[in-house]
Amino acid sequence: MTMLWICLASLVFIAGLFLWVPLILRPKTNVVFNQQTNVEIFKARLEELEQEYSQGVLNAEGFEQLKLELEQSLLTDVDTEVIAITETTEVNAQHWLVISIVTFMLVAISLGLYLQLGRSADYQLSLSLPTQEQLATQTEVPPSFQKVIKALEQKLSETPQDLEKWFLLANSYSAINEHQKSLQVYKRALEQFTPENENYPVLKGVYAQALFQAAGEIITPEVAGLIKEILVVDPLESSALILAGIQAFTTGNIPKAIEYWQQAKINANEQVKTEFLEAVIKQAQASLGVETTADISADDSSNLAKITLNLSIDPSIRAKTSAEQWIFVFARLAGERMPLAAKKIQVKDLPLTIVLDDSLSPMPTAKLSSATKVDITARISLSGNVRAQSGDFFTTVTNVTVKNNLQSVEMLINQQVK
pLDDT digits (tens, 9 = 90+) for 282-305: 888 888 765 544 433 434 445 568
pLDDT tens by residue, the chain, 418 residues? 455 567 667 776 777 676 676 666 655 554 444 555 666 776 777 788 777 777 777 777 777 777 777 777 766 655 544 445 555 556 667 767 777 787 777 777 776 666 555 544 444 444 444 444 444 444 444 455 577 777 878 888 788 888 888 888 887 777 677 778 888 888 888 888 888 787 888 888 888 988 888 888 889 999 999 999 888 888 888 899 999 999 998 888 888 888 889 888 888 888 788 878 888 888 888 887 655 444 334 344 455 688 999 999 999 999 999 999 999 999 988 877 778 888 889 999 999 999 998 888 776 667 888 888 999 999 999 888 777 888 999 999 999 998 877 788 999 999 998 8
Distance, C-alpha 29 to centroid of its chain? 50
* Spatial separation of the C-alpha atoms in residues 142 and 139, rounded to whole Å: 9
* Spatial separation of the C-alpha atoms in residues 304 and 298, rounded to whole Å: 13
* Spatial separation of the C-alpha atoms in residues 49 and 65, rounded to whole Å: 11
* Spatial separation of the C-alpha atoms in residues 341 and 361, rounded to whole Å: 4
Which value, to the nearest 10 degrees, does the dihedral of the CA atoms of residues 195, 197, 202, 203 take?
Answer: -70
Residue environment code for 214-248, b if the CB has 16+ CB neighbours within 10 A, otherwise e: beeeebeeebeebbeebbebbbbbbbbbbbbbbbb
Please report, for the chain, the start and end positions of each structural domain, with discontinuous segments joined by +: 2-117, 142-296, 300-416
* Spatial separation of the C-alpha atoms in residues 52 and 147, rounded to whole Å: 99
Q: Is the pTM of this model over 0.95?
A: no
pLDDT digits (tens, 9 = 90+) for 48-84: 877 777 777 777 777 777 777 777 776 665 554 444 5
CATH 3.50.50.60 fits 300-416, yes or no: no
Four-way CATH pick for 142-296: 1.25.40.10, 2.60.40.2550, 3.40.50.300, 3.90.1150.10: 1.25.40.10
